[in-house]
Amino acid sequence: MWAFREADARGADTVDVGGSPTTAADLTAVADLLAQLDAYRRRGADYEAERFAGLLTELHARTTANGPRAEVLGPDEPAETPLRKVRLTALGARPRSESTADVYFASGDVVLVQHATPLRAAQHLATSNVVSESATRSASRAVTVKTNRVAKTSLTPVGTAWDDLPRALVVDDYAAAAERLAELPPRQVRARVEAEPVRAVRVAEVSDLAYDPAAQRLTATLHDSTGASCVLEAAHRAVAPRSLDALAAALRAGPTTITGSVRRHRGTLVVDPLAVHTRAGVVVVDLATDTTPQPLPPGVTTADPLSASVGGALTVLADASHRGLGHLTDSLLARVREAGAHLHGTGLRAAAALVTAFADTPSATTWFKAHLRLLVTADAR
């Protein structure tokens, strides 16, 4: 009744009622920020200045956003939900370290991820259909699959299960998928959901397979059944030294579906692959062990001027937050002004003005405005 009375008073069809003003204690972004601070204090390799800066800005954006609380702070779900007799279809895995990996599963029309799975278990789970009587799911779509004597878990090969995935998880029209990504709210205020961009991408043809030795990156062009194309990009990872050879072999074997994270770059869909389905079955490229070197034509990965200017400005602003606003040097502020000049030269004049304003008047307010603008620009470019 409260919501209806409030809607009548405002003369609006949609209202957001309930709860108290948002505080930092409400936000799961704080946990990641604290983890970054802890990694820095212990000099851990997990600390990244740009990730730290991004989390600071995300926290600021969520606490000041004027959208509905359910959208800004996350889905209105219990923190943890038991799943009884659940069926999960593996979509691949990505190593976190030499001994653990994250395993991705389709569950209905969403993607779940089991973090830090022991590598031997991940190798079995990543190509399996899983039926479990004892699993739990968090509000952020992390899943934990357990086994015990009472509640059993069974595994069967994934087989052709990818052919029957829900439409919400399938990309078969690349142009339409890129348009849907462009319509999403900024990542900094969207609900924080694990594995949000993971999809199953249907493939009609693969062309332009190449390897850039300088960037240690494999690229290819994927084509859908409508004639549209998208870009596949996979970078070398130290924890998965054989992944690029396994990926190249799978791409040459006539893939029908590739799972992975999808994003939009300058209007084009870009896929970072997790697994490839061919006539021989599913290949989880990062977990591949039995591979042979694949000769590939050389390619060169070059950043366009727009991406380079945005990336350079994000780097220098991250350096400023890492150093602290009370410890900025003249040389660092000169780099900020130079980044602003580059942005202006590429036509990003609003972003350039905000970056220059921070250099002229360093403060938390000017830093947040400039950094948030750049983050949104980087995601939308």
What pLDDT, on a 0 to 100 scale, did the predictor assign at position 273?
A: 97
User: Is 70 exceeded by the pLDDT of residue 290?
Assistant: yes
What pLDDT, on a 0 to 100 scale, did the predictor assign at position 149?
A: 54
Average pLDDT over residues 296-318: 86
What pLDDT, on a 0 to 100 scale, did the predictor assign at position 22?
A: 40
What pLDDT, on a 0 to 100 scale, did the predictor assign at position 353?
A: 97
**Would the pTM of this model clear 0.85, i.e. be above it?**
no
In the chain, count H helices and then E strands.
11, 16
Task: Please enumerate in sequence order all residues whose Cβ is within 8 A of that of 164, keeping only pairs 6 or more positions apart, or say none.
Answer: none
The DSSP element (H or E) to which 62 belongs, if any, is helix 49-64
Residue whose pair of structure tokens reads 């994000």 in the numeric block? 314
- How far apart CA 298 and CA 169 sit, in angstroms, is 33
Task: Please enumerate in sequence order all residues whose Cβ is within 8 A of that of 352, keeping only pairs 6 or more positions apart, or say none.
Answer: 340, 341, 343, 344
**What percent of the chain is predicted at pLDDT more than 70?**
88
User: Is 50 exceeded by the pLDDT of residue 345?
Assistant: yes
* Integer CA distances (angstroms), 37 to 23, 57, 68, 81, in order: 20, 15, 29, 30
Tell me the pLDDT tens digit for each residue of 263-287: 988 778 999 999 999 988 999 999 9
- How far apart CA 112 and CA 93 sit, in angstroms, is 11
Structure-model confidence comparison of residues 66 and 326, the more confident one: 326
CA 350, 356, 357, 362: dihedral to nearest 10 degrees? Answer: 140
**What percent of the chain is predicted at pLDDT more than 90?**
59
Domain boundaries, the chain: 2-73, 80-163, 170-287, 305-380
- Window from 10-14, 150-154, 239-243 with minimum mean pLDDT: 10-14
Q: Are strands 268-278 and 128-132 parallel, antiparallel or unpaired?
A: unpaired
What pLDDT, on a 0 to 100 scale, did the predictor assign at position 128?
A: 94
Band of residue 3 on the pLDDT scale cut at 50, 70, 90: low
CA nearest 209: which of 304, 299, 275, 300?
299
User: Is 90 exceeded by the pLDDT of residue 380?
Assistant: no
- How far apart CA 158 and CA 90 sit, in angstroms, is 7
Tell me the pLDDT tens digit for each residue of 73-121: 555 566 677 777 889 999 999 998 889 999 999 998 999 999 989 999 9
DSSP code, position 208: E
Structure-model confidence comparison of residues 103 and 302, the more confident one: 103
What pLDDT, on a 0 to 100 scale, did the predictor assign at position 23?
A: 39
The dotted CATH code for 170-287 is 2.40.50
Average pLDDT of the chain to the nearest whole number: 87
Tell me the pLDDT tens digit for each residue of 193-226: 888 899 999 999 999 999 998 889 999 999 999 9
Tell me the pLDDT tens digit for each residue of 124-182: 999 999 998 888 888 788 898 876 555 578 889 999 999 999 999 999 999 999 999 98
What pLDDT, on a 0 to 100 scale, did the predictor assign at position 54?
A: 94
Structure-model confidence comparison of residues 214 and 340, the more confident one: 340
